[in-house]
Amino acid sequence: MASVVRYRCPRCFFGRAGFKGCEGQCRTVQHQHEKSFPGNVLCALAATTTGTRFNELRRWAKQKRLEFISDSFCWKWFKCCKPAIEEVYLSQQRKVLERVRMKYAEGEGLQLTADGAFNSRGYNALFGKVLLVDLKTKLILHTEVLHRSETNGNSSLMEQEGLRRLLRWLISKGWTIASLTMDRNL
């Protein structure tokens, strides 16, 4: 992150005027109240766009004995970027769905597979993700991410609820299903 060094100059006046500073990066905006440095902004954006959890990044920085951005700074930039991320995601999803449409004949149902993954092993996962994949094109059509609280605190039901949501999504898009392959957990 941007290192900021402040020191007292022995030849200058005491008080605020006696402090000098050196910043490791230029500020993104040149005025007194903005303290955003480009490296910090890029770090927050990288965490946002890659899906890396903030606490994992903070733990990594602590292990390396590095100063790190605050979670409020990260959330500030996430809120700024969220509309752009959603726009890119929906654009990519439209392209994927068009490619899948071209692969199937008129009225032919989709051949799908679905599977879930959790952020921890066992029956105590906090988050669950369920993927819906087209078998002909081998493209991911849609994902659903669930928090344990959405299934009354029962993490083993997250995969089933995710599949329900995926199937509702497919129906809302006007797709028909010829086959659906899944593991025994669903």
Residue 5: pLDDT over 60: no
**Structural domain total, the chain:** 2
Residue 6: pLDDT over 80: no
Instruction: Please report the pLDDT score of residue 91 as a whole number.
Output: 96
- Are 124 and 58 within one domain? no
Examine residue 29 and state whether it is found in any structural domain, yes or no. Answer: yes
- Are 141 and 177 within one domain? yes
- Are 16 and 48 within one domain? yes
Q: Could you report the per-residue pLDDT of 47-79, keeping only the tens digit for each? A: 877 777 888 888 988 898 888 888 888 888 889
Burial of 22 (0-12, 13-18, 19+ CB in 10 A): exposed
- Are 42 and 112 within one domain? no
Instruction: Please report the pLDDT score of residue 13 as a whole number.
Output: 58
Examine residue 165 and state whether it is found in any structural domain, yes or no. Answer: yes
Q: Model-level pTM?
A: 0.66
Q: What is the mean pLDDT of residues 138-162?
A: 89
Examine residue 144 and state whether it is found in any structural domain, yes or no. Answer: yes
Examine residue 88 and state whether it is found in any structural domain, yes or no. Answer: no
- Are 75 and 9 within one domain? yes
- Are 78 and 111 within one domain? no
Q: What is the mean pLDDT of residues 129-134?
A: 94
| Inter-residue long-range contacts of 76-82, CB under 8 Å, 24+ positions, other chains counted | 76/44, 77/41, 77/44, 77/45, 77/48, 78/44, 78/48, 81/45, 81/48, 81/49
Q: Domain boundary at 17, 49, 82, which? A: 82
Residue 178: pLDDT over 80: yes
Examine residue 10 and state whether it is found in any structural domain, yes or no. Answer: yes
Which residues span the domain enclosing 36?
A: 4-82
| pLDDT band per the 50, 70, 90 thresholds, residue 10 | low
Instruction: Please report the pLDDT score of residue 90 as a whole number.
Output: 93
Q: What is the mean pLDDT of residues 76-92?
A: 90
Instruction: Please report the pLDDT score of residue 134 as a whole number.
Output: 96
Examine residue 135 and state whether it is found in any structural domain, yes or no. Answer: yes
Examine residue 167 and state whether it is found in any structural domain, yes or no. Answer: yes
Residue 164: pLDDT over 60: yes
- Are 77 and 110 within one domain? no
Q: Could you report the per-residue pLDDT of 99-125, keeping only the tens digit for each? A: 999 998 888 899 999 998 886 666 677
- Are 17 and 64 within one domain? yes
Examine residue 9 and state whether it is found in any structural domain, yes or no. Answer: yes
Backbone angles phi, psi at 149, to 5 degrees: -65, -20
